[in-house]
Structure 1
C-alpha cells in the first residue's frame, strides 16, 4: 500500500508526456507554396525535422489526419502526397520523451509544394526541465537551405513515380542542372 501514491505519481508523469496541444491553424500557405508538385493532382508536403539537439535520440512520427506517414530523426525529411483540402499534420512523440505532441491544420492546394519544419527546444520552468515542440512554415528558399545535409526518409510506397523530384534538395538540384 505504501507504493500506491508512488504508482499514481509515476502514471501521472507518464501520461503527461502524451498530452497534445490544441491544433493550430496555419496562415494562408499559398504565399510560401511553390507552384510545382511531385505528385500530379495532389499537393506535396515536405516535413523536415530540425537539427536541434533537444530530444535528438528519439524519432518523431509524422501523422496526417491520424495516419502515420513518416518517422523522422534529427536532420531527416519526408515528402508526403496530400489530397487537396484541409488536413491535420501532427508530430507524435514516444511517451518516454515526455514532450507534447504538436499539430497544425492547413489548406493544401493540388499542384503546390509546402514545407513544414518540426523543431524542439529544451528549457527550464522553475526547477523542472521542459521540452517544447512546434511546426514552422518555410518558403522554398529556406527549405532548400535547411535540406542541404538532410536525409530523405520518404517511405518507398510514397515515392513519386518520376525519378527526379520537382523540388530537389540543393545538392541534387545542382547535379541535375549540370547534366545536359
Structure 2
C-alpha cells in the first residue's frame, strides 16, 4: 500500500507542476483517500463509553456524598466547639450589659429625684450637658474618629481647591 501511496503522490506532484490540471486532479483523488483513512469504530464503542461514563458518575456521586457527610460532621463539631467556648463570653457580656443598663436606670431615677427635690434650673441642665459632651469627646475612640473626620475634610478641601484652581485656569 505504501508503494501505491508514494506512486500516486509523485504522479499528482508531477502533473501539478507540468500544468496538467485534469490529470493532477485525478491523481490527487487517488492519493488523498489513502492518506486520510479513518480507522473503523467498533460497534460496541458507544456502549463501552456510556458504561464508563456511568461508572465515573457513580464514583463522583460517592465522593460528593462522603464530602457532604464529612463537611456536615466538621461543621457540627465546629458549631459545638464555638458554642462551648463562646457561651461563657456571651453570658459574661450579657450580664455585664444588663448590669450597665440597671446602673443607668437607677442613676437616672436618682438624678431625676434629686433634681425634682432641689429644683433644676437651666444652668444646671446646661452644665450637665456640657460635662456629658466633654466626657464623650474625651473617649479615645471618639477622639480618633473626630481626628479621622478632620483629616478627610482637609483632604477634600485640598482636592476641591485644586479642582477649582484648574477650572479657573482653563477659563482664562
TM-score bucket (shorter structure)? under 0.3
Provide the TM-score with structure 1 as the length reference.
Answer: 0.20
The structure that has the greater radius of gyration is 2
> Greater helix share, 1 or 2?
2
More strand by share: 1
TM-score by length of 2: 0.21
**Higher RCO (CA-CA < 8 Å; seq separation 6+):** 1
